[in-house]
Amino acid sequence: MKLLRNAVGILLATSALAFGQATTNSFFNWETPPVHPVALSPDGTRLVVCNLPDNRLEVFDVTSGRPVAVGSVSVGLDPVSVRFRAADEVWVANFISDSVSIVSLSDLRVVTTLNTLNEPSDIMFAGAPERAFVSCAQPGIVQVFDPTNRTAITNLVIDGNRPKAMAASPDGGKVYVAIFESGNASTIIGGGVSLGFPMPTPLDFPGGPHNGINPPPNSGTNFVPVINPSLPTNSPPPRVSLIVKKNTAGRWVDDNNGDWTEYISGTNAVFSGRPLGWDMPDHDLAVIKTADLSVSYASGLMNICMDLSVNPGSGKITVVGTDALNHVRFEPALKGVFVRVEFAEVDPVALTNRVRDLNPHLDYVTPVVPQAEREKSIGDPRGIIWNADGTRGYVTGMGSDNLVIIDASGQRVATNSTIALGQGPTGVALDEPRNRLYVLNRFSATISVIDTVAGKVMHTVPLFDPTPLVIKQGRPSLYDAHKTSGLGQASCASCHVDARFDRLAWDLGDPAGTMKFITNGNFGRFPPAVTNHFHPLKGPTTTQTLQDIIGHEPFHWRGDRDGLEQFHPTFTNLQAAAEGLTTTEMQDFEDFLATVRFPPNPFRQFNNTLSTSLPLPGQVALGHGTLKAGSQLPNGNAQAGMTRFRLQGTAGCIHCHTLPSGVGTDLRWTGTQWVNLLIGKNGEHHAAFAAIERSSVLPFKIAHLRNLYDKIGMDYTRTNSRAGFGFFHDGSVDSLARFIQDGFDFRNDQEMADVVAFLLSFTGSDLPAGLLSDPDRPRGLAGKDTHAAVGRQITINSSASASLIDSMMALANSSTSRVDVVVKGFKDGLSRGWFFDRTTGRFQSDRKVETLLPADLRQLANIGNELTYTVVPRDSGRRIGIDRDEDGYFDRDELDFGSDPANPLSIATNRPPVLSAISNQTILAGQLLTFSVTATDADIPAQQLTFTLDTNAPAGSAINATNGVFIWTPTPNQSPSTNTITVTVADSGLPNQSDSKSFTVVVLGLHVGRAAMATNGVVLVWTAITGQSYRVQYKDDLAEPAWLDGSASITAANGVVTVTDPAVNRQRFYRLLLEP
């Protein structure tokens, strides 16, 4: 019984870790990816892991070669990287909180918090004197801190988009930064879609590479596949843009060897809107010299640089990531082969490189390989680490749920080069003395412990994971390359990286495709005179983010997919999967995507309002006002920009781009008011299309405007452009100013700056709502975004006034602010938490009976008892602050009681054990009765259960106190009788809890009723127990050595059994056997 109870306890504990998730109301999913989430202490005794969904740093003792939990520390929202500065000092980068938590490992406490720029991604210590370098992805900056006094020294602007992962040279003289969205030297020749910019398009020039044919062919003078002859002749393909890529000779060519260099950087560059000498440096790796903080770059590696590490044997910088074939046109040509997973080796002095495919078993000729070959593939690589002599490298595949082992040159090792892991392996740490490799599996929230000698997983250690089940069930459809692609290296996330985008454009048309006819498009108040339909040749379009798309249907730039269900063919067509998603999997995918939110807007004020003076670095005038073209725009007034945006009539933007998301309305104008449209059969909305002059391919869905700041980087005003694609559906417009100018012809630079400021500040909601009666300002679809203050932190070690805390409390007290405030820290030597309850105006502590006024809580802060205040999303504060597992029992109450605050099945109360039902029994006197009584106890940690019989139990009966085995052999004197027996099980909790159940045992005497002679033999009759089996045996002489069977096994159907022995006129002796 004890073994059963313990097994049940272990099972329940595991289930809690796997399925004890938070609710979607208390959990905000930004789909943040880890960067460097695992680190080993300098002495090799401690492993620290960023538990991203739980906002904690987990600490393990690894001296045994198996992680043993030591404790955890609450840090900021979405911790993505952790680095040791010293044995007892750990720095943690919090991506959503825009902060770095500095942790004392011995005390398991945050001693201070550094505020950073937006999206801190990684940390590196290097230089003499030592400096801390923090990469900040969104602004493209590496911040430099003095780690001794923890003050900021300078900000280094990185000429690339989203610098993230970092490493240092062995001597500390250089810091290397991987540029995540580095591009791949591909760009766009615009389609000349209006009389504005750019016009006309070089694609239409008779002297161009394809003689003015638009769309141009992709194979000599032909289209491959051949254009569908059944396409309507009165619906010609639209004029399109064209993707070109710079080759190793520096020439800009398309996928049909058309050379467009003259129109990109040569004397005719003006026709593509570019200046003479325009170029893309294609920076992939930034190299910072720690002595003078100068920055140089390595180029030509790949377009998504995911992680890097320095090979200690050669000193070379190694980068892993993916490279896209976006310059190749048409879905059939890209089927299954549109992305490569690559390893790049960079010389630290010359910065020259060598790039190798990490999937050498794939030839990319066939788009589908057998499952066994797919399982060898690695996809979405997120971690790389080398052994001490640089002869073995380990690369994790977040999209392939595996790890591959490479040699110094990046080639797979000869044997056992692939190891299957948990879901979403990312960060990795190597403990060579113990032959152990530790890998964080982001999606399954586990740590895989790998024996590097045996080449296999030895242990899997679970982390507490509050991620809701709806997220876990749908995620694989986005990331799982082995399941959703024919070669095992690609997935939806290959382009929609981390549910965002790759900053590239793709031409996924199909010449052999069919026309899709528009039958029920919503054009709001502006139906076109002629509705063009969706031609299968659609031209290039930029990858769109998957953040908050559900409920904003239809999809794609054209709006040619009514809902997510219509992407079912994409899995087998573009990705070449062996089979598409099932109906259930597609619904799970949709439900998961419905949780993905936009992060806090870095251009909003702390209280989420619009700034009246927002700096606009890099946003330049176009020469239409008083400022010269290329001059820096003045600070923008986003509030004034919103007013201009909301002007009625054609002067404003609001009649198309509704608030708060910017997407078109899903209402219909009757002439007097806006009315609802019926939701589609799969729950899809009907956001409006637009038929406007600037769209050459009518119609287009009216696009949302919430991630415009993520598209900044393309530049037509200078010869150096960080990105090859910008705004508009094909990425052909380089700046927000030009995007606005094209549609509205601004002549006032300040007004231009104001609107740009508003567009950068768009996401965040809290904008004026539309009116059902206003024809120019319709109601818009709500969005999933985040209040600008969410994540902000401050750590205090005294009760002195802090203006940031005052601002936090003002928001926390507001019923409309959409935020909560939590506090974490130490009190009386214990780790504690508090949550501000606006209904009482007090902080509720993690002990239910204890509350504090805000001023009293601040008085607790001192050195050693630091308090960290954090703004979190509304409705998540109670979980993050005081009830980690949302079981209704507060964290410190659970610890005081002895239960586990990280397990919803382990609660701060003693629940009684439950006895299983005990069946009634009927036996014969002298017959042994034995069986096991079982019980379960939901309490975790498991308690000791003790079994007893009540005092009315018959003489001779007993039960084993430990395992619940009951035993009794009634004597003849105890028959016949009916006995009611009560069993009680009690636990070892305080106070003890118990459960009792009674059962009945009927004891019968065994009496042969009669034996009579009959003409056909001897008739035997006896009383019997219904359901009991008997066997009759006999001897003709009692001196005979053995009894012989006189009947087969007989099961009593009622209380009397009759058997006839055909022996006649013979002396015979009989006996009855009870069969088990």
Mean pLDDT of 693-699: 54
In this predicted model, what pLDDT tens digit does every residue of 596-642 receive, in sequence order?
999 999 999 999 999 999 999 999 999 989 999 999 999 999 999 99
CATH T-level assignment (fold) for domain 914-1004: Immunoglobulin-like (2.60.40)
Q: Cβ distance 758 to 636 under 8 Å? A: yes
Contact predicate 551/542, CB 8 Å = no
Residue 1009, pLDDT above cutoff 80: no
pTM for this model (two decimals): 0.89
Per-residue model confidence (pLDDT) at position 530 = 62
Average pLDDT, the chain: 93
Closest by CA to 900, choosing from 989, 23, 892, is: 892
Note the pLDDT of residue 23: 67
Q: Cα–Cα distances in Å, from 619 out to 321, 570, 615, 760, 906?
A: 30, 37, 9, 11, 55
pLDDT in tens, 509-542: 999 999 998 877 888 877 766 667 889 999 999 9
Average pLDDT over residues 263-286: 96
Mean pLDDT of 464-488: 98
Q: Are strands 242-246 and 186-189 parallel, antiparallel or unpaired?
A: antiparallel
Residues 6+ apart with CB under 8 A from 193: 239, 694, 695, 696
Mean pLDDT of 948-961: 96
Q: Is the pLDDT of residue 108 over 60?
A: yes
Q: What percent of the chain has pLDDT over 90?
A: 81
* Amino acid symbol at 76: G
Q: How confident is the model at residue 1059 (pLDDT cuts 50, 70, 90)?
A: confident
Dihedral class, residue 37 (left if φ above 0, else alpha if ψ from -120 to 50, else beta):
alpha
Contact 485/499 with Cβ under 8 angstroms? no
Write down the pLDDT at residue 693: 52
Distance from CA of residue 452 to its chain's centroid? 28
Every domain of the chain and the residues it spans: 186-227+242-279, 498-763, 792-897, 914-1004, 1010-1074
Q: Are strands 456-462 and 505-506 parallel, antiparallel or unpaired?
A: unpaired
Q: Which letter does DSSP use for residue 759 in this model?
A: H
pLDDT digits (tens, 9 = 90+) for 712-747: 999 999 999 999 999 999 999 999 999 888 777 788
pLDDT of residue 17: 41
Q: What is the pLDDT of residues 109-120, one digit of tens each?
A: 999 999 999 999
- 300 confidence band (pLDDT: 50, 70, 90): very high
Query: Could you tell me whether strands 131-136 and 541-542 are parallel, antiparallel, or unpaired per DSSP bridges?
Result: unpaired
Cα separation, 305 vs 284, whole angstroms:
7
From residue 818, give the alpha-carbon distance in Å to each of 424, 466, 748, 783, 877.
Answer: 31, 21, 36, 14, 11
Tokens of 926: 């002298």
Confidence grade of residue 31 (pLDDT, cut at 50, 70, 90)? very high
How many other C-beta atoms lie within 10 A of the C-beta of residue 516? 14
Beta 994-1004 vs 921-924: how paired, if at all?
A: parallel
pLDDT of residue 957: 97
For strand 867-873 and strand 935-936, is the pairing parallel, antiparallel, or unpaired? unpaired
At 784 the pLDDT is 95
- Is residue 605 within 8 A of residue 788, CB to CB? The reply is yes
Q: Please give the structure tokens belonging to residue 1070.
A: 């009989």
Tell me the residue length of the chain: 1076
pLDDT top residue among 832 and 200: 832
Confidence (pLDDT) at 1056: 85
pLDDT score of 990: 85
**pLDDT of 941:** 86
Given a contact cutoff of 8 angstroms between Cβ atoms, the answer to whether 374 and 297 are in contact is no
Q: Which of 967, 959, 998, 966 is closest to 982 using CA atoms?
A: 998
pLDDT at 1011: 67
Query: Encoding tokens for residue 661?
Result: 């998301």
pLDDT of residue 925: 87
Residue 874: other Cβ atoms inside 10 A: 19
CB-based contacts of 569, cutoff 8 Å, min separation 6: 580
Tokens of 90: 């750990």
pLDDT value for 2: 30
Confidence tier at 389 by pLDDT (50, 70, 90): very high
Residue 236's pLDDT is 86
Counts of helices then strands in the chain (DSSP H, E) = 16, 59
pLDDT at 1065: 72
Q: What mean pLDDT comes out for the span 414-424?
A: 94
465 backbone φψ class: left, alpha, beta (φ>0; ψ -120 to 50): beta
Token pair recorded at residue 639: 């509030």
Once rounded to an integer, what is the mean pLDDT over residues 64-68? 97
Cα 822 to Cα 603: distance, rounded to the nearest angstrom:
24
pLDDT tens figures, 192-227: 544 444 467 899 999 999 999 999 999 999 999 999
Provide the pLDDT for residue 21. 60
Q: Is the pLDDT of residue 1 over 80?
A: no
Render pLDDT for 305-314 as a digit per residue (tens, 0 to 9): 999 999 999 9
- The region that residue 672 occupies, defined by phi over 0 for left and psi between -120 and 50 for alpha, beta otherwise, is alpha
